[in-house]
């Protein structure tokens, strides 16, 4: 039966197209916007260390598993897992792994589009020279003012969703491949330039100390959970994305090699972003726990004072928007693929309906940042304060749905699917296969279960 199924949505043209798309899905706001600020909120070095361990021991094996599921199932995430469960003559309940990914990526996109909208607005602000000759404080003030205007935020996120819907709905990924081909390396180079600029003009040694000297006394169990969850988020795991992208992957491509490559690039981008941002944080007396505004109040400081700052700054935000955009496409794709497969909807209609509903749900995030009364409150979830709807959606997805989704995927692939099938699909050396299989059967389940037991207070370490 191997390779018997075909995806009804088409296929990637080859290995390189898949690598570009999957890297595009991986590299995004998670690396450049989210990683730096959650690292700061969770004490720095120790968080980074746990995060890196999670990428290597859990992220890469889970990514391989998802691509494998997708390529074997050749359908949207839920249906792929369901088909494979039936083949393993096991309960179709396992399909929950696929469906929860679909829901998670849908929910994530609701706030992701809003934040991508900030980046889009910042393209214009930077190009206009808003940050030239302005104090660090005033730059912070500009960001607060930006958030305080919900109408503008709604408009920007509408633009992001509209373009996403257009591209996905019309199936014009082809042109996109070309754009990404050029923009991703450029983003990398530009981040490198930013990192060098910050390192030489900011408090570099303090930044390195903060990012790479683990102080475990600063890491709470919630911090560990967020590091684990972010490893999933940043690699686009347990979100359906890698399953659906795997579904379009030609059979002769090495899943192991491409997964490692994608994880490497993703991690490198996150580290570069940290090095571009933290020297400025310490130089200008900002706090690492600044929160979601961190890059929007630090990088403009650099753009305002560095040579060719307007040019570099504008380019930077353009590329950030593109990086976000290629991730947004990955997030919407599984919902659309499912609506097309099962509901028989026309692709454009399915995409437009998804995009429209996302915009509405995104209002929760918009009004959270605009600090509307109805969108802010005080909750305490396992010791973590949650103060608005954005934080609810973020915590629910990254801290809860992604790790639990990853757990189910790991158990399904490691314990339920027949060894022969996973071997056949991974087509790798005996040693790599053995390492992968060990990791997926033990590391992911044990780590996720221990962290959750600890979180709910059943287990005390
Ligand atoms: N990996 C993306 C990032 O780091 O920005 C976010 C993401 C993309 C999550 C696609 C989930 C997903 F399905
Ligand atoms: Na990422």
Ligand 1: atom nearest CA of 334 is: 13
Measure 296 CA to ligand 1 centroid, in angstroms: 20
Atom 9 of ligand 1, nearest CA residue: 236
Q: What percentage of the chain has pLDDT greater than the value 70? A: 97
**Cα distance between residue 225 and residue 57, in whole Å:** 15
Of 327, 337, 393, the one to substitute when testing ligand 1's pocket (max ligand atoms within 8 A of C-beta) is: 327
Based on its alpha-carbon atoms, the radius of gyration of the chain, rounded to whole angstroms, reads: 21
**Cα distance between residue 437 and residue 422, in whole Å:** 9
The pTM of the full predicted model, rounded to 2 decimals, is 0.95
**271 C-beta neighbours (distance < 10 Å), count:** 18
How large is the average pLDDT for residues 238-259?
Answer: 92
16 or 83, higher pLDDT: 83
Of 25, 112, 245, the one to substitute when testing ligand 1's pocket (max ligand atoms within 8 A of C-beta) is: 25
Q: SS3 for 125-149, per residue?
A: HHHCCCCCCCCHHHHHHHHHHHHCC
b/e code 216-244 from CB counts within 10 Å (16+ = b):
eeebbbbbbbbbbbbbbbbbbbbbbbbbb
Reading phi first (left if > 0) and then psi (alpha if -120 to 50, else beta), residue 265 is in: alpha
334 or 144, higher pLDDT: 144
Q: What local confidence, expressed as pLDDT, does residue 342 receive?
A: 82
Ligand 1: atom nearest CA of 29 is: 5
Of 23, 35, 115, 239, the one to substitute when testing ligand 1's pocket (max ligand atoms within 8 A of C-beta) is: 239
Quick one: pLDDT band at residue 172, thresholds 50, 70, 90?
Answer: low
Nearest to 413 by CA among 37, 35, 94, 48: 94
pLDDT in tens, 284-313: 888 999 999 999 999 999 899 888 999 989
Cβ atoms of residues 379 and 386 within 8 Å:
yes
Ligand nearest to the CA of 333: 1
Dihedrals phi, psi of 384, to nearest 5 degrees: -105, 125
Nearest to 298 by CA among 36, 43, 107: 36
Measure 30 CA to ligand 2 centroid, in angstroms: 5
pLDDT of 226 above 60? yes
N-term to C-term CA, the chain: 47
pLDDT of 199 above 80? yes
Q: SS3 for 244-305, per residue?
A: HHHHCCCCCCCHHHHHHHHHHHHHHHHHHHHHHHHHHHHHCCCCHHHCCCHHHHHHHHHHHH
11 or 294, higher pLDDT: 294
Q: What local confidence, expressed as pLDDT, does residue 3 receive?
A: 47
Q: Please, is 421 exposed, middle or buried when counting C-beta atoms within 10 Å of its C-beta (0-12, 13-18, 19+)?
A: middle
**Cα distance between residue 54 and residue 56, in whole Å:** 6
What value does the mean pLDDT of the chain take?
Answer: 93
Task: Please report the DSSP string for 186-199 in residue order.
Answer: HHHHHHHHHHHHHH
- For 169, how many CA atoms within 13 A lie in the half-sphere containing its CB? 17
pLDDT of 164 above 60? yes
pLDDT of 139 above 70? yes
Residues 6+ apart with CB under 8 A from 69: 77, 80, 81, 84, 98, 243, 246, 409, 412, 413
How large is the average pLDDT for residues 96-104?
Answer: 93
Measure 82 CA to ligand 1 centroid, in angstroms: 23
- Indicate the range of 105-114, 344-353, 441-450 predicted with least confidence: 344-353
Q: What local confidence, expressed as pLDDT, does residue 459 receive?
A: 80
What are the pocket residues of ligand 1 if the criterion is a CB atom closer than 6 Å to any ligand atom?
25-26, 28-31, 105, 108, 233-234, 236, 239, 241, 327, 330-331
Instruction: Tell me the two tokens of residue 350.
Output: 């399915």
Atom 7 of ligand 1, nearest CA residue: 236
Q: What local confidence, expressed as pLDDT, does residue 11 receive?
A: 76
How large is the average pLDDT for residues 415-436?
Answer: 96
Q: What local confidence, expressed as pLDDT, does residue 338 receive?
A: 86
131 or 6, higher pLDDT: 131
pLDDT in tens, 30-46: 999 999 999 999 999 99
Ion ligand 2 — residues with CB < 5 Å: 26, 30-31, 234, 266
> What is the DSSP pairing of strand 376-381 with strand 384-388?
antiparallel
Ligand nearest to the CA of 271: 2
Measure 30 CA to ligand 1 centroid, in angstroms: 7
How large is the average pLDDT for residues 8-18?
Answer: 78
Cβ atoms of residues 30 and 119 within 8 Å:
no
Please report the ipTM that was assigned to this predicted complex. 0.99
Of 227, 241, 409, the one to substitute when testing ligand 1's pocket (max ligand atoms within 8 A of C-beta) is: 241
Instruction: Tell me the two tokens of residue 381.
Output: 């979830």
**Cα distance between residue 422 and residue 436, in whole Å:** 10
How large is the average pLDDT for residues 91-115?
Answer: 95
Q: What local confidence, expressed as pLDDT, does residue 181 receive?
A: 74
Question: What crossing angle do the helices spanning 173-201 and 150-170 adopt, rounded to 10°?
Answer: 140
Ligand 1: atom nearest CA of 266 is: 4
Nearest to 180 by CA among 27, 351, 335: 27
Measure 336 CA to ligand 1 centroid, in angstroms: 16
Ligand 1: atom nearest CA of 33 is: 5
Q: What percentage of the chain has pLDDT greater than the value 90? A: 77
- Indicate the range of 7-21, 100-114, 360-374, 414-428 predicted with least confidence: 7-21
Domains of the chain in sequence order: 15-455 (1.20.1740)
Q: What local confidence, expressed as pLDDT, does residue 20 receive?
A: 86
pLDDT of 460 above 80? no
Ligand nearest to the CA of 28: 1
Q: What local confidence, expressed as pLDDT, does residue 197 receive?
A: 92
Atom 12 of ligand 1, nearest CA residue: 236
Quick one: pLDDT band at residue 4, thresholds 50, 70, 90?
Answer: low
Measure 22 CA to ligand 2 centroid, in angstroms: 10
Ligand nearest to the CA of 21: 1
């Amino acid at each position: 039966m191997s390779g018997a199924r075909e995806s009804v949505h088409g296929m990637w043209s080859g290995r390189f197209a898949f690598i570009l798309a999957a890297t595009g899905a991986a590299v995004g706001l998670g690396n450049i916007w989210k990683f730096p600020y959650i690292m700061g909120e969770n004490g720095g070095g120790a968080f980074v260390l746990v995060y890196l361990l999670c990428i290597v021991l859990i992220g890469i094996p889970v990514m391989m598993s998802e691509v494998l599921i997708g390529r074997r199932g050749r359908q949207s995430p839920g249906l792929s897992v369901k088909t494979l469960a039936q083949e393993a003559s096991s309960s179709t309940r396992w399909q929950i792994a696929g469906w929860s990914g679909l829901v998670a990526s849908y929910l994530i996109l609701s706030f992701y589009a809003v934040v991508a909208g900030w980046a889009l607005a910042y393209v214009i602000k930077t190009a206009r020279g808003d940050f030239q000759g302005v104090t660090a404080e005033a730059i912070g003030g500009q960001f607060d003012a930006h958030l305080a205007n919900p109408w503008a935020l709604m408009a920007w996120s509408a633009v992001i969703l509209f373009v996403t819907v257009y591209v996905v709905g019309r199936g014009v990924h082809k042109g996109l491949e070309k754009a990404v081909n050029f923009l991703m390396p450029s983003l990398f180079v530009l981040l490198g330039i930013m990192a060098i600029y910050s390192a030489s003009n900011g408090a570099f040694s303090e930044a390195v100390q903060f990012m790479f000297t683990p102080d475990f006394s600063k890491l709470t169990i919630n911090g560990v959970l967020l590091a684990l969850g972010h490893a999933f988020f940043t690699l686009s795991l347990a979100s359906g994305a890698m399953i659906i992208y795997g579904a379009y992957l030609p059979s002769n491509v090495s899943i192991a090699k491409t997964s490692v490559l994608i994880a490497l690039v993703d991690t490198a981008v996150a580290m570069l972003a940290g090095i571009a941002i933290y020297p400025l944080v310490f130089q200008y007396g900002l706090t690492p726990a600044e929160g979601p505004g961190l890059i929007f109040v630090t990088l403009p400081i650099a753009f305002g004072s560095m040579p060719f700052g307007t040019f570099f700054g504008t380019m930077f935000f353009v590329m950030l928007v593109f990086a976000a955009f290629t991730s947004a496409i990955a997030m919407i794709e599984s919902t659309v693929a499912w609506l097309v497969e099962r509901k028989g909807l026309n692709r454009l209609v399915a995409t437009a309906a998804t995009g429209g509903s996302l915009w509405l749900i995104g209002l929760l995030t918009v009004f959270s940042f605009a600090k509307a009364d109805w969108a802010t409150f005080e909750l305490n979830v396992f010791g973590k304060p949650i103060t608005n709807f954005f934080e609810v959606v973020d915590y629910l997805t990254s801290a809860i749905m992604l790790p639990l989704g990853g757990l189910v995927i790991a158990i399904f692939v490691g314990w339920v699917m027949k060894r022969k099938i996973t071997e056949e699909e991974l087509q790798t050396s005996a040693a790599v296969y053995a390492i992968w299989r060990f990791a997926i059967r033990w590391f992911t389940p044990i780590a996720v279960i221990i962290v959750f037991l600890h979180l709910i207070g059943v287990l005390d370490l």
